[in-house]
Amino acid sequence: MRYKNEILNFMTSEEIKALQEEKLLRQLTYCYNNSDYYRKRFNSCGALPADIKTLEDFRKLPIMMTKQDERASQTESLERYGHPFGMHLCARLEELELTSTTSGTSGTPTFTYTFSRREINGPVADLWAFLFRNSGIMPGDRVLFAYALGIYATSMLLWGIRRMGALPIDVDVRAGADSILQYAQLTRPVTFATTPSLAEHMILRAPKSIGKEVGELGFRSLLLCGEPGPGIPEVKQRLEKAYGARVFDYWSPGGLVFGLACDSDEYHGLHCFAPDYNLAQDDLIDPISREPIESTHGAVGELVHTSLDRDACPVIRYAYGDIVEVLTEPCPNCGFTGKRLKIVGRSDDMLIVKGVNFYPAAMREIISEFAPLVTGSIKIILEVPPPRIIPPLKIKVEYGEGVDSNQLPDLEKKIKEACHRKLNINPQISWVPPYTFERMLRKTSMFEKAYE
Ligand SMILES: [Zn+2]
């Protein structure tokens, strides 16, 4: 894989940084001139955009936005101007072409994914088109697109599918698994773009629903997003085997940082192919102390987003809550020289057991290694509101199909040992039959909130 912006492929990392700095100054000046929100933030820290000469200067600025700030900004603009896009909206209302939100699983949805006509038809469509082209799709292909549509953020992908000359078969996930399978059969798409858990659910559902295995549907690739699944080797292998297709995962939190896995049996993280569009891969903080962390090989921290080419709702030092591990060495598979990210979890998913911090995704990854003796689906029982867990940490684990109950004590012992060795946590496991947990059509939560 290469950078999307062709010129970056011929630049040194210093030259890329200089380009980022040039675009940053332009974006900061634009935000300062066009929004009360950012003007106030700059004024309160005694800086002007023109003072920011380097990324090092920039990283001395405080965090300028969090999810709560974004919500408060939306509430204020609704009260003052009668629109929900926030006081940080920098474009005129008549310039907007798309607004979409996250699924709003926690609190009021935010309209982070709001785009002007120029951006959604320009850089955003081009970035998505690049991402699709690098995941095995050709012009003239059909893409089965099964997400929540309309107001939800994934709608923006449709601009990219159309831009690259492919045809979206956009079936809203709320139509249900049977309907999606029926359209797969009717339209013969080459790619299935959906969430990892729905892709897994389809493996079981297809024989009952359409009398065929998913492997007979003719998919060349699966393009997955929304959950950590493809980063777990067992999940990736299971999906690739069942579908007879390559699994790619991709990411674009806030419609900002773009990442795509490369075409490989092994998983090498999300390749940040557009460092001239967002600074996040170069701006990390410690999720607890909020102090800067250098974005070097192996560093783990929370991404801080700053857009470099946005009109409608640009973000400046937005701590969005995504915890990642950064890889800076060239990709062993494709040789990509830019940064790569592995998603570790969400800062608001972080749990603390006896002073040990961990992310549920890490627990799931350890348990998934025992597949096919387990399905890989787990629930962490929260007896009090997170992040604190009163020990022992209780988890429910689905055993695999065909597993006999007398195999479970030994399996339990091995899982506990692995959790202790890798996370320094001793969970209390209760077993549940395979496919007890509902495979959600949208993001599946790993928590069972017993306190609610
Ligand atoms: Zn690669």
Full DSSP string of 68-101: HHHHHHHHHHHHHHS-SS-TT--S-GGGEEEEEB
Q: Mean pLDDT across the stretch 357-379? A: 88
- Indicate whether 108 pLDDT > 90: no
pLDDT at residue 273, rounded to an integer: 96
Distance 325 CA to ligand 1 centre (A): 16
Q: Mean pLDDT across the stretch 388-399? A: 92
Distance 305 CA to ligand 1 centre (A): 23
Distance 35 CA to ligand 1 centre (A): 39
Residue 16 near residue 278 (C-beta atoms within 8 A): no
Q: Which residue has the higher pLDDT, 384 or 272?
A: 272
Distance 142 CA to ligand 1 centre (A): 25
Binned at pLDDT 50, 70 and 90, residue 438 comes out as confident
Q: What is the 3-state secondary structure (H, E, C) of 275-318?
A: CCCECHHHCEECCCCCCEECCCCCCEEEEEECECCCCCCCCCCE
DSSP secondary structure, 420-431, as one string: HHHHS--PEEEE
pLDDT at residue 274, rounded to an integer: 96
Mean pLDDT score of the chain:
92
Distance 331 CA to ligand 1 centre (A): 5
Distance 397 CA to ligand 1 centre (A): 33
Torsion, CA 276, CA 277, CA 280, CA 283, rounded to 10:
40
pLDDT at residue 39, rounded to an integer: 97
Q: How many CB atoms lie within 10 A of CB 61?
A: 18
Binned at pLDDT 50, 70 and 90, residue 423 comes out as confident
Q: How many angstroms separate the Cα of 304 from the Cα of each of 162, 216, 249, 348?
A: 30, 42, 21, 15
Q: Mean pLDDT across the stretch 402-424? A: 93
pLDDT at residue 424, rounded to an integer: 87
* Pick from 282, 284, 285, 263: nearest CA to 272: 282
Distance 298 CA to ligand 1 centre (A): 16
Distance separating alpha carbons of residues 187 and 73, to the nearest angstrom: 43
Binned at pLDDT 50, 70 and 90, residue 256 comes out as confident
The tally of CA atoms less than 13 A away on the side-chain side of residue 173 is 24
Distance 130 CA to ligand 1 centre (A): 15
Distance 273 CA to ligand 1 centre (A): 11
pLDDT tens, 9-50? 999 999 999 999 999 999 999 999 999 999 999 999 999 999
Q: Mean pLDDT across the stretch 280-290? A: 92
Distance 189 CA to ligand 1 centre (A): 25
Binned at pLDDT 50, 70 and 90, residue 279 comes out as very high
pLDDT at residue 441, rounded to an integer: 52
Distance 144 CA to ligand 1 centre (A): 25
**Phi, psi values for residue 396, rounded to 5°:** -105, 135
By the CB criterion, residues less than 5 angstroms from ion ligand 1 are 262, 268, 331, 333-334, 336
Name, in order, each residue with C-beta under 8 angstroms of 215's C-beta and a sequence gap of 6 or more. 242, 243, 244
Tokens (6 digits) for 247:
């699994």
Distance separating alpha carbons of residues 338 and 351, to the nearest angstrom: 31
Q: Which 3 state secondary structure label does DSSP give 121? A: helix
pLDDT at residue 104, rounded to an integer: 57
Question: What are the strands of the beta sheet with 374-382, ordered from one edge?
Answer: 428-432, 394-399, 374-382, 447-449
pLDDT at residue 367, rounded to an integer: 92
Distance 271 CA to ligand 1 centre (A): 7
DSSP secondary structure, 186-221, as one string: HH--SEEEE-HHHHHHHHHHHHHHHSS-GGGG--SE
Distance 303 CA to ligand 1 centre (A): 21
**Phi, psi values for residue 428, rounded to 5°:** -105, 120
Distance 141 CA to ligand 1 centre (A): 24
- Indicate whether 150 pLDDT > 90: no
Q: Which residue has the higher pLDDT, 343 or 248?
A: 248
Q: Which residue has the higher pLDDT, 345 or 260?
A: 260
H or E element, residue 249: strand 246-251
Q: Which of 73-82, 99-108, 150-159, 271-280 has the weakest average pLDDT?
A: 99-108
pLDDT tens, 289-303? 889 999 999 999 999
pLDDT tens, 187-246? 999 999 998 888 988 999 999 999 999 999 999 999 998 777 788 888 899 999 999 999
Q: Which of 121-125, 126-130, 388-392, 437-441 has the weakest average pLDDT?
A: 437-441
pLDDT at residue 348, rounded to an integer: 77
- Indicate whether 308 pLDDT > 70: yes
Binned at pLDDT 50, 70 and 90, residue 443 comes out as low
Distance separating alpha carbons of residues 199 and 144, to the nearest angstrom: 12
pTM recorded for the entire structure: 0.88
Distance 192 CA to ligand 1 centre (A): 21
Q: Which residue has the higher pLDDT, 299 or 348?
A: 299
Distance 221 CA to ligand 1 centre (A): 16
What residue has token string 């062709």? 6
Q: Which CATH superfamily is domain 351-449 in?
A: ANL, C-terminal domain (3.30.300.30)
Distance 336 CA to ligand 1 centre (A): 6
Q: Which of 179-193, 262-276, 421-435 has the weakest average pLDDT?
A: 421-435
Q: Which residues of 119-129 are buried (b: 16+ CB within 10 A; e: fewer)?
A: bbebbbbbbbb
